[in-house]
Structure 1
Amino acid sequence: MKPLDLPAASDTKAWMEERAQTQLAVVREVADRFRTSPPPDALEALREWNRLETAAGNVLSPVQLLANVHPDLATREACEALEVETMKLLTELGQDQAIYAAFAALSPEGLDPLAARYLDKILVDFRRSGVDKPQEVRDRLKEINKRLTTLDLDFSRITRDDVRTLRVTPDRLGGMPADWVAAHSVEDDGLVTLTTDYPDAVPVRTFATDRSLREEMVTAFLERGWPQSEPVLTEMFALRHELATLVDYPDWPSYDADVKMIGTGSAIPEFIEKIASAAAEPMERDMAVLQARFAADLPEAGPITGVDTAFYQEVVRREQYDVDAQLVRTYFPFAKVRAGLLEVTGRLFGLRWEPVEVPVWHDDVASYDVFVSATDELLGRIHLDLHPRPGKYSHAAQFSLASGVAGTQLPEGVLVCNFPRGLMEHDDVVTLFHEFGHLLHHLLAGHGEWARFSGVATEWDFVEAPSQMLEEWAWDADVLATFTADEAGEPIPAELVEKMKAGEEYGKGIQARQQMFYAAMSYWFHQDVADGSPTDLTERMIELQARYAPTAWLPGTHMFASFGHLGGYSSAYYTYMWSLVIAKDLFSQFDPADLFAPEIAGRYRDLVLARGGEKDAADLVADFLGRPFSFDSYAAWLAR
């Protein structure tokens, strides 16, 4: 087996269209066999369906990636059309009563536990697709699924492409880092162009001493996607509710939660309240410090808002914790951070990253073949696409290019981020480690027999936990010393890292409550439809922000309009905090004095990461911890 032979960027559209039709032909061939002469043997049937799911993934994975990263608009649009076509076909298969009957007739007797799990998952999928419903209901479900695919693509396109710009005079850039200023040249008309992409938006919000510039940037950032995405989201929420009720669930959150660790939709607001309550005192303590420092500069301004929070959190960290983010960033040049990330993760999990020159979709992309250090076995290939450009996905995420299946194909994954090319904020470094955790999960769990369990195939409210745990290595002084360096070549001092950690601890109450605002918005936007009381999304957002967030609504803004997680995560944004609870428990098993201890890292790799979806996430975690996961580690961390 070898990784994919990707085409030159200019040939991607033709390559993807040909690949899609070849793979979809396999899907149709297997489906036809189940309709006309289904395999009577359960194991044979599962292997055939595995071939179908592998082929379907071989279309969906690359088209979903390329629709978000390819520089050519026609290629992106062609990939979106292929996704719609593929999802339409899969919806039809999920409601095919002849195929369902073939699987329902199979006996799990004699199957090994993993094959039996696969059969059970297939049957659950069919039932959740409405296979047992009358024809008119199945027809309506097909319409809904097709429309939801289109709406999700529309929402992604809006949030990806709506990059706003500010044009300002150079004198307004006071407080900005020198290297950042040098990278923003004054144009012929005497102005400097700034965008709402992260490499501009985050530094301006954090460092700009011109408050009006911060306000313009924050407002522009929060207005992305408005007003175009509101009707898209409103229709999406309504159709999700209709879909759920057609397959006998009371609402979308219940339908969505039924296959997650949390189990029930009603448990979501309970969890949100639990975290909000635990974070109330830490948030109040953090905000009192922030408000006092803000009022010292602007005593007549009233309560601090989102215009000033990032700036004054930086002021507090600089003045009270002796952490100067502009000094910190001098230790994190992008090239050293990327190399350090590979060194750290390679050492931790026994891997070797070998650079390879292969055709890719853009010159920014760096590709690596991944080997097991001890045996030199090729595990797969990764691609790092880490800088912003027009038409590219504007957040940070791991995309699959190919799901690994033993004896059939190697796993191949892509990290898509938007980092500066020069010096990085430490928050960027943490984000890079986090997203790379997903890539590791995809890679290490891509060597089993069943495509269904390959890669990040666990319950969706667990998938963030391994990535959140890997962030801990980006906070360890000894780890950072191995790859950081300022202009003089000196690594970041351990005492500075300790101050950074203390400064980060200061803001965790604020962060937890901000996350609960997002989680509440994700849940209630959906649940309000079920309750028969859908409200104007802006009004509901303002209400939830007042209830959960550390700061009030900034008048005139509509942050939900670009909150991309309303697409993929739907009602389940609680996932990030649910996963963090588990991540803190997982990390409690590591020795802070030796984060590279091979025995514990190896157990974690083999019992959690490498298993993919072969067990329920709670069981994977219990295998590693030797007990069920607990809230205790998170609660202790939040309270201290």
Structure 2
Amino acid sequence: MESPDLHPLQLPTRDEDWLGWVTERARHGLSTAGAGVAALKEAPAGDETILQLWNDVQIALGDVFALSSLMSVVHPDAAVMEAGERFQIDARSFSTDLHLDADVFARLSSLADAPLEAGARRVLDDALRDFRRAGVDREEQTRERVRELSRRESELSQAFARNIRDGRRTTRVPEAALEGLPEDYRADHPTVDGMVEISTEYPDTLPFLTHGRDPDQRRRVAHAFHNLAWPENDAVLAELLDVREEKATLLGYADWPSYDAEVKMIAEGRRIPEFIDELAGAAEEAAQREIEQLREQARAEGEDVVDFSNWRHHAEAVKRERFGVDAQELRRYFDAAKVRQGLLDVTGRLFGLDYEPVEAPTWHPEVASYDVRLVDNRQLLGRIHLDLHPRPRKYNHAAQFTLVQGVLGRQLPEGVLVCNFSRGLMELDHVVTLFHEFGHLMHHVLAGRHEWVRFSGVATEWDFVEAPSQMLEEWAWDPGVLRSFATDAQGEPIPEDLVRRMRAADEFGKGFLTRTQTAYAAVSYWFHQERPADLTDRLGELFKHYSFVGLVPDTHFHTGFGHLDDYGSAYYTYAWSLVIAKDLFSAFDREQLFAPEVAHRYRDTVLVPGGSRDAADLVTDFLGRPYDNRAYAAWLAAAPADAEEAR
């Protein structure tokens, strides 16, 4: 049970106080971490307090990372954003220097033969591994070069993300180009001198590419969207790839993917392209079948190719004709406020949680905050913040960020959902994305009560991280679940027949979209493995080999592909996690999705442990066997039902 005086973080109540508060909190965290390192070095060799001091350092440093990462992408004040970026660099530099500190390594190594409990042993082994991966046991010249490379990598990573964040573009299109777009979309895009501006923000671009009927204007909007951060990020990425490669080889690894894969479930870099090709082969038949239908639809509308400017538009046409599903018909059931409350109701029922709305100050008036409690005993588990709508310079994807790491008896976990959904009616795929990202938030809060901060929250291997979130998407497709919150303006719930057809329609595309995922994963891997001289040319080659959807001519997708920074060579992890997610879901009864026995067992055996055990062991505990790919293979191989079959 948490201490009764443990409270969520107190955020500033006035806008003008944020810069000072962020600065003070970050500096205090770095100072506390520094004092902890000094105390650790003074501790007697072999004394178990060394590991407790190490934990203290990681808590203080982790909180600086969390605060700076979040503020650098969400705060409306440019000065606060820039402060977040500076403290992120400072925290990374601190971490780099720490893991190259031979004295700290020696103190931790002195516990190698100590009789430690299992959790402490795992923390120690992971720490010693991380020190070796940082190069602490290399000669001084190598350590110094690794330090330089790590700092440069941090600078380049930040520049890559900043260029994407600040690279927002707009395309002016004729008012007639809005034909086919929903009424609320048209209302949000006023006409000036007969022209309308479409930005590269997701809620602007994706509906336009889906519903817009003018192929020339779709192509112009897609051209801007897929040139985000071009040309700035081309040079940034090229140098980032070189820096990572040099760092990995200096540390004794064959290449960056080998270094990157060592701490993941896949374990070996050479397995990444093998997995990508296995997945591409498994999706081949379905992808060929689906893409031919898209090509037929494109030809019927006078287009001779299927690429990133039109595949969404033609896929919607196929879904209307084959499955009787119209995306615009669906939108009227997905009012953003109702969806948000429905999500809370569904996950609360599933995991035995209660969300209490709190009037807490945050960085923006649209952020909604909730305290999360266990229903059984009213225990306060943590606090969540939902920042769901777009604004200038805000992070332009969807992700969960940490505000506070949970540590048993010391601090409550706080997580933030950062998304860019419309404020009115939502697209169906955005509803599914919201469920997905909320899965990360639940993982963060439910795994926030460990003594060792190393185990707190979403601390599993990177290629398992997405699995719990991918599994939670299944609840966004269930007719009974959707009817509990998806209602139109008159309060009528979405028809079950429509939900079944929606699901069948969603199954259309899993083949060619899986192939698109393999293209992304191949770019992620081969860019790092080869470091091609011309990134755009190699991008085109990889997409031609893997993707059934073509790139828009004269575009440079890689410069706006933010995951090349944070996922490195490991974008394959989305697909790897999905294999596990399908197997996890096989333990649930589709007719009783809220059955508490299995839902709470999943909560307690997979989510609550955080990073305290290997992901494969957590899954085995839940399933009663090691995971396999049978559920995924069956899903991928199954052809979607037609409209009449889905009724």
Does residue 140 of structure 1 match 2:145? yes
TM-score, normalised to structure 1, is 0.98
Indicate the SS of the match to 2:272.
helix
Q: Confirm or deny: 8 A CA contact 2:45 2:110 kept in the other structure.
A: no
Q: Which residue of 1 aligns with 2:17?
A: 11
Q: Confirm or deny: 8 A CA contact 1:258 1:265 kept in the other structure.
A: yes
CA distance in 1 between counterparts of 2:44 and 2:191 reads: 68
Q: Which residue of 2 aligns with 1:283?
A: 287
**CA shift for structure 1 position 210:** 1.1
**CA shift for structure 1 position 306:** 2.0
Q: Which residue of 2 aligns with 1:46?
A: 51
- Matches for 1:37-436 after TM superposition, within 5 Å: 37-38=43-44, 40-42=46-48, 44-187=49-192, 189-298=193-302, 301-436=303-438
Q: Deviations over 1:303-341 (max 9, x none)?
A: 322221100000000111100100001100100000000
**CA shift for structure 1 position 194:** 1.6
Indicate the SS of the match to 1:594.
coil
Paired AA for residue 339 in structure 1: Q
CA distance in 2 between counterparts of 1:619 and 1:264 reads: 19
**CA shift for structure 1 position 119:** 0.8
CA distance in 2 between counterparts of 1:344 and 1:506 reads: 26
Q: Which residue of 2 aligns with 1:625?
A: 623
**CA shift for structure 1 position 34:** 2.5
Q: Deviations over 1:255-287 (max 9, x none)?
A: 010000000000000000000000000100111
Paired AA for residue 367 in structure 1: S
CA distance in 2 between counterparts of 1:385 and 1:111 reads: 42
**CA shift for structure 1 position 36:** 3.1
Q: Deviations over 1:610-635 (max 9, x none)?
A: 01000011111111111111011101
Indicate the SS of the match to 2:332.
helix
CA distance in 1 between counterparts of 2:171 and 2:376 reads: 52
- Matches for 1:461-472 after TM superposition, within 5 Å: 461-472=463-474
Indicate the SS of the match to 1:399.
strand
CA distance in 2 between counterparts of 1:453 and 1:473 reads: 27
Does residue 544 of structure 1 match 2:546? no
CA distance in 1 between counterparts of 2:464 and 2:543 reads: 25
Paired AA for residue 30 in structure 1: G
CA distance in 2 between counterparts of 1:37 and 1:473 reads: 51
CA distance in 2 between counterparts of 1:215 and 1:164 reads: 15
Q: Confirm or deny: 8 A CA contact 1:261 1:461 kept in the other structure.
A: yes
CA distance in 2 between counterparts of 1:212 and 1:302 reads: 13
TM-score, normalised to structure 2, is 0.97
Indicate the SS of the match to 2:608.
helix
Q: Which residue of 2 aligns with 1:489?
A: 491
Indicate the SS of the match to 1:331.
coil
Does residue 582 of structure 1 match 2:580? yes
CA distance in 1 between counterparts of 2:332 and 2:537 reads: 42
CA distance in 1 between counterparts of 2:300 and 2:391 reads: 40
CA distance in 2 between counterparts of 1:201 and 1:231 reads: 26
**CA shift for structure 1 position 586:** 0.2
**CA shift for structure 1 position 38:** 4.0
**CA shift for structure 1 position 159:** 0.8
Alignment coverage as a number of residue pairs: 632
Paired AA for residue 203 in structure 1: P
Q: Confirm or deny: 8 A CA contact 2:40 2:53 kept in the other structure.
A: no
Q: Confirm or deny: 8 A CA contact 2:512 2:549 kept in the other structure.
A: no
Q: Confirm or deny: 8 A CA contact 1:34 1:98 kept in the other structure.
A: no
Paired AA for residue 275 in structure 1: L
Paired AA for residue 180 in structure 2: G
Q: Which residue of 1 aligns with 2:644?
A: none
Paired AA for residue 486 in structure 2: T
**CA shift for structure 1 position 108:** 4.6
**CA shift for structure 1 position 39:** 5.6
- Matches for 1:546-625 after TM superposition, within 5 Å: 546-625=544-623
CA distance in 2 between counterparts of 1:323 and 1:69 reads: 36
Q: Confirm or deny: 8 A CA contact 1:214 1:307 kept in the other structure.
A: yes
Q: Which residue of 2 aligns with 1:448?
A: 450
Paired AA for residue 186 in structure 2: V
CA distance in 1 between counterparts of 2:322 and 2:291 reads: 14
CA distance in 2 between counterparts of 1:368 and 1:108 reads: 45
**CA shift for structure 1 position 415:** 0.2
**CA shift for structure 1 position 447:** 0.3
Indicate the SS of the match to 1:608.
helix
CA distance in 1 between counterparts of 2:178 and 2:578 reads: 36
CA distance in 1 between counterparts of 2:113 and 2:266 reads: 27
Q: Deviations over 1:427-450 (max 9, x none)?
A: 000000000000000000000110
CA distance in 2 between counterparts of 1:100 and 1:110 reads: 18
Q: Which residue of 2 aligns with 1:501?
A: 503
CA distance in 2 between counterparts of 1:51 and 1:146 reads: 24
Paired AA for residue 396 in structure 1: A
Q: Confirm or deny: 8 A CA contact 1:67 1:80 kept in the other structure.
A: yes
Q: Confirm or deny: 8 A CA contact 1:9 1:359 kept in the other structure.
A: no
Does residue 30 of structure 1 match 2:28? no
CA distance in 1 between counterparts of 2:45 and 2:194 reads: 72
Paired AA for residue 428 in structure 2: H
* Identical-pair percentage: 52
**CA shift for structure 1 position 191:** 2.5
Q: Confirm or deny: 8 A CA contact 2:164 2:562 kept in the other structure.
A: yes
Q: Confirm or deny: 8 A CA contact 2:39 2:53 kept in the other structure.
A: no
Q: Deviations over 1:321-370 (max 9, x none)?
A: 10010000110010000000000000000001111111111111111111
Q: Confirm or deny: 8 A CA contact 1:445 1:609 kept in the other structure.
A: yes
Indicate the SS of the match to 1:151.
helix
**CA shift for structure 1 position 393:** 0.2
Indicate the SS of the match to 2:172.
strand
Query: What runs of 5+ residues in structure 1 fail to find an aligned partner?
Result: none
> Which moved further from structure 2: 549-558 or 604-613?
549-558
CA distance in 2 between counterparts of 1:111 and 1:525 reads: 42
* 412 and 108 in structure 1: CA distance in 2 versus 1, 3 angstrom threshold: farther
